[in-house]
Amino acid sequence: MSDIKKFMYVNRKAPYGTIYAWESLEVVLIGAAFEQDVSLAFVDDGVYQLCKGQDTTGLGIKNFSATYRALGDYDVSKLYVEKESLEARGLTLDDLMPLTYEDADDDYAEKDSIRVVSSQEMAELFEQSDVLFNF
């Protein structure tokens, strides 16, 4: 086994109704300092975490959606979103926040972090990971 492990953070829950989305993101931020190969998966209600326009003022609780936009600065640039989960919820890529990162291997060109994949591709990504984090 190499020194670097493939970490996959699996997000299946909606934001705010429960804390799993936010506390999972806290793990990703801390984990970014450990220089592993990091990916995030958004399936089922996890896709709601990336919806744009979140405004928690009326609830009086913290809005953590801006943190997803900071992931690129932490070198977390692989966010896989399952197509089938989006479709079942009537969502398209346009409903999600535009998330980007600067590709150090390509003269710091700005690229999209979100990659929409099929269920089958997602299953393969899980297979190729070394550690699956579930919340």
CA-to-CA distance for 73 and 89, rounded, in angstroms?
Answer: 29
Residue 47 near residue 86, CB atoms below 8 Å: yes
14 is an interface residue for another protein by CB under 8 A: yes
Structure tokens at 102: 């600067």
The single residue among 2, 59, 105, 106 that binds another protein, judged by CB under 8 A, is: 59
For residues 98-127, which are near another protein according to CB under 8 A?
Answer: 119, 122-124, 126-127
70 is an interface residue for another protein by CB under 8 A: no
40: Cα within 13 Å, side-chain hemisphere: 30
State the minimum distance, in angstroms, from the CB of residue 13 to another protein: 8
Kindly list the distances between the CA atom of residue 50 and the CA atoms of 10, 40, 112, 116, 125, in Å, as whole numbers in the listed order: 14, 12, 13, 12, 20
Site string for another protein, 16-55 (x = CB under 8 A): xxxxx--x--xx--xx-xx-x------xxx--x--xxxxx
Q: Is the dihedral of CA 29, 24, 132, 84 positive or negative?
A: negative
Q: Which stretch binds another protein (CB under 8 A): 70-78, 81-89, 99-107, 108-116?
A: 81-89
State the minimum distance, in angstroms, from the CB of residue 114 to another protein: 15
Nearest to 79 by CA among 69, 88, 65, 89: 69
Chain positions contacting another protein, by CB under 8 A: 5, 7, 10, 12-20, 23, 26-27, 30-31, 33-34, 36, 43-45, 48, 51-63, 65, 82, 84, 88-90, 119, 122-124, 126-135
